[in-house]
Amino acid sequence: MIQPVIELRGIGRRFPGVVANHDVSLSVAAGQVHAIVGENGAGKSTLMEILYGLQRPDEGEVRIDGRPVRLDSPADAIAHGIGMVHQHLMLADNLTVLENIVLGSEPIARGGRLDVARARAAITAIAARHGLPLDPVARVGDLSVGARQRVEIVKVLYRGARILILDEPTAVLVPQEVDELLRTLRALRDVGFTILFISHRLDEVLSVADVITVMRAGTTVVSVQPRDTDVRRLAELMVGSALPEPARHGVPPRAGVALQLRGVTSARPDARESLHDLSLTLHEGEIVGVAGVEGNGQSELIEVVLGIVVPSAGTIALGGHDITHWPTGERRALGLAAIPPDRRSEGLLLDAPLWENRILGHQLGPPLARGPWIDRGVARAGTRAIVLEADVRTPSIDVAASALSGGNQQKLIVGRELAGDPRVLIAAHPTRGVDVRAQAAIWARLVAARDAGLAVLLVSADLSELIGLSDRIVVMLRGRITGELDPRTVTPEALGGAMTGIGP
């Protein structure tokens, strides 16, 4: 039998309070595209980090080409021919493509000078060989997401990697870019590279992988061949039971307008993110989903509605009031709540206890504030209520928010924002990083609030979440709303096509 190029036996890794991996076994053959799937928190990323030397396993053994190895740092992994393309691209925006690629393995000319010519030649050769066009002197910050990912791949190939690990590579790509990437991966596999591919996009996985390993709750469950399975069965293996679905009640939205944007234009240095003459209406008791590839103005839209950015043209009205030039605080006082896109830096005070985090965003009036004073009793009681209702796992409300896991942090934030009985809720990636059970719970709460009259602006990259929760879906492309779709009839393919501006 041919030696597997990678073999993991009995890998375990613990963090304070969390078991990320236990008893993980994996066998990857050479020249294979091996996909690893699992829900959020299943331990896939940690396992790959162990393989790349970013983490060290507490138990178990890693074997490369049959020999046990110790990977104490990325340098060790690189030395063994392993290269990793991270989910959040590890590229320095202010440096050039060439500088990012050669960093750490710079060709040195006489006198200690960086040999730019040699680097450029090598990079261009690799890029040509594998069909990955790029411009070595371009500044990375100016590139598109697809181009940046190509830089990451060339970066890995430049170091002589024969094993490529890709962590959720298609998460931020447009369907056309996804096809290109999958084609590139197949081409690499055909010339002998081994590819490890983490994804939760099951349809993509089925189309490109030779073997699929399912992980659940920190351990490997089974490895299957794509022809022996389908999306449904894979999903069930990931969850361990039948899949929950967002329950949509047939309650029609009310007539009252909760939030209205008219002709909103805002300028941003990155033109793709600017808003151009954007108009959108949210009715009471309605969830409007905003679909679009990340970087097409969704974050600008959120900031404009919140009041962090003032539009250069157009108006915004909340419940009948013209809030276009209102500061954020006054908008929140009027009933605007927000689940921000980045919970750690925008939704929480990491070093503050949970009960103080309850106050965040709600300190502008009753019940948490009476006049200039903060009502600590109400804050503490309210926090306990949220912890109970939203199933936030914590031993006390006095621990710092940073001590909670990502999923529990998110549950706290969702609970907090809904507790204020808002009129309009901006929900940006509301279930990112949350396990499936909690995801279903959050969905249920959003739907219940919607039924009670809440208007929700839902921004999400999770197409099933968008289709499952929304009453209407609008598509954003380059800062404009380019179309509206009916979630009851739309398919993920059609939605993806609309998001790129091509297709049906």
Partner 1 sequence: MWLRVTLTVVVLSLVSGAANAPDLLSEGSMGAALRFTAPILLAGLGALWAERSGVVNIGLEGMMIMGTWFGAFVGHQAGPLAGVLAGVAAGMSFGLALAVMALGFRIDQAVAGLALNLLAAGLARFLSSIFFDGIDGGSITQSPTVDALATVSLPGAQALLEPVASASIPIVSDVAQVTLGLVTDVSLLTLLVVALVPITWWVLFRTGLGLRIRACGEHPAAADSLGVSPAVHRTIALAVSGAMAGLAGAFLVTVASSVYREGQTGGRGFIGMATVVFGNWMVVPTAIGAFIFGFTDALRTRQEASVGALLLVAAVAFVIVAVVRGRHRSCRDAAGWGVASALLVSAFVLLPVVPPEFVSFAPHLTTLVVLALARPDLRAPAALGLPFRRGGSS
Partner 2 sequence: MTRERLIRPGLFLAAPVIAVGLALLVAGLVLAATGADALRVLQDTIAYGTTGRSVVAVVDKSVGYYLAGIAAAIAFRMGLFNIGIDGQYRLAAFAAAVVGGAVVLPWPLGVVLMIGVAMLVGGAWAAIAGLLAAHRGVSVVISTIMLNAIATGIIAWLLHPSRLAVQAPGSNNVATALIPEGGRLPTIPTPLGDVDGFLLVAIAVGVLTWLVLGRTRFGFELRASGMSLRAAAVAGVDAKRMIVVTMIASGAVAGLAGMPQLLGASHRYGLDFPAGLGWTGIAIALLGRNHPLGIAIAALLWAWLERSAQILDLTGISREVVTIMQGVIVIAIVVAYELVGRMIRRREQRFVGLAEAATPGEGPARAASGA
| Interaction site with partner 1 (CB under 8 A) | 15, 49, 52, 54-55, 73-75, 78, 84, 86, 90-95, 99-100, 102-106, 108, 112-114, 155, 405-406, 433
Between 98 and 290, name the residue whose CB sits nearer to partner 1: 98
What are 326's two structure tokens?
Answer: 């209102």
Q: Biggest alpha carbon distance in the chain?
A: 76
82 phi and psi angles, rounded to 5 deg: -100, 135
Q: Are 126 and 134 in contact (CB under 8 A)?
A: no
Q: Are 438 and 407 in contact (CB under 8 A)?
A: yes
Print burial letters for 387-402: b (CB count within 10 Å at least 16), e (below 16): beebebebeebeeebe
Between 410 and 500, name the residue whose CB sits nearer to partner 1: 410
170 near partner 2, rule: CB under 8 A: no
How many Å apart are CA 254 and CA 471, to the nearest integer? Answer: 12
Task: Out of 170, 405, 439, 460, point to the residue binding partner 2 (CB under 8 A).
Answer: 405
Q: Residue 3 binds what, of partner 2, partner 1, none (CB under 5 to 8 Å, by partner type)?
A: none
How many Å apart are CA 365 and CA 342, to the nearest integer? Answer: 25
How many Å apart are CA 381 and CA 111, to the nearest integer? Answer: 67
374 near partner 2, rule: CB under 8 A: yes
Task: Out of 95, 403, 440, 461, point to the residue binding partner 2 (CB under 8 A).
Answer: 403
Least distance (Å) from partner 2 to the CB of residue 168? 24
Q: Residue 47 binds what, of partner 1, partner 2, none (CB under 5 to 8 Å, by partner type)?
A: none
Least distance (Å) from partner 1 to the CB of residue 354? 17
Q: Residue 90 binds what, of partner 1, partner 2, none (CB under 5 to 8 Å, by partner type)?
A: partner 1
Between 149 and 383, name the residue whose CB sits nearer to partner 2: 383
> What does each C-alpha distance from 326 to 112, 302, 346 come to in angstroms?
56, 15, 20
What are 484's two structure tokens?
Answer: 């509206």
How many Å apart are CA 451 and CA 69, to the nearest integer? Answer: 56
Angle formed at CA 81 by CA 36 and CA 89, multiple of 5 degrees: 60
Site for partner 2 in 14-73 (CB under 8 A): 15-18
Least distance (Å) from partner 1 to the CB of residue 72? 11
CB proximity list for 212: less than 8 A, separation 6 or greater: 34, 35, 36, 37, 205, 206, 223, 224, 225, 226, 229, 234
Q: Classify the phi-psi angles of 222: left when phi > 0, otherwise alpha if psi is within -120 to 50, otherwise beta.
A: beta
Q: Residue 462 binds what, of partner 2, partner 1, none (CB under 5 to 8 Å, by partner type)?
A: none
Least distance (Å) from partner 2 to the CB of residue 177? 29
User: What single letter denotes the amino acid at residue 196?
Assistant: L
Site for partner 2 in 325-344 (CB under 8 A): 327-333, 338, 340
What are 318's two structure tokens?
Answer: 């909340």
Binding mask 421-450 for partner 2 (x = CB under 8 A): ----------------x-------------
369 near partner 2, rule: CB under 8 A: yes
Nearest to 166, CA basis, from 74, 81, 87, 100: 87
304 near partner 2, rule: CB under 8 A: no
Least distance (Å) from partner 1 to the CB of residue 391? 18
Binding mask 127-166 for partner 2 (x = CB under 8 A): ----------------------------------------
346 near partner 2, rule: CB under 8 A: yes
Radius of gyration of the chain from Cα atoms?
Answer: 24
Between 342 and 484, name the residue whose CB sits nearer to partner 1: 342
Least distance (Å) from partner 2 to the CB of residue 91? 22
> What does each C-alpha distance from 304 to 252, 259, 262, 350 come to in angstroms?
27, 12, 12, 25
CB proximity list for 366: less than 8 A, separation 6 or greater: none
Least distance (Å) from partner 1 to the CB of residue 41? 9
Least distance (Å) from partner 1 to the CB of residue 402? 9
Least distance (Å) from partner 2 to the CB of residue 19? 8
How many Å apart are CA 132 and CA 164, to the nearest integer? Answer: 15
- What residues line the site for partner 2 (CB under 8 A)? 15-18, 306, 308, 327-333, 338, 340, 345-352, 356, 359-364, 369, 372-374, 376, 380, 383-384, 387-388, 391-400, 402-405, 408, 437
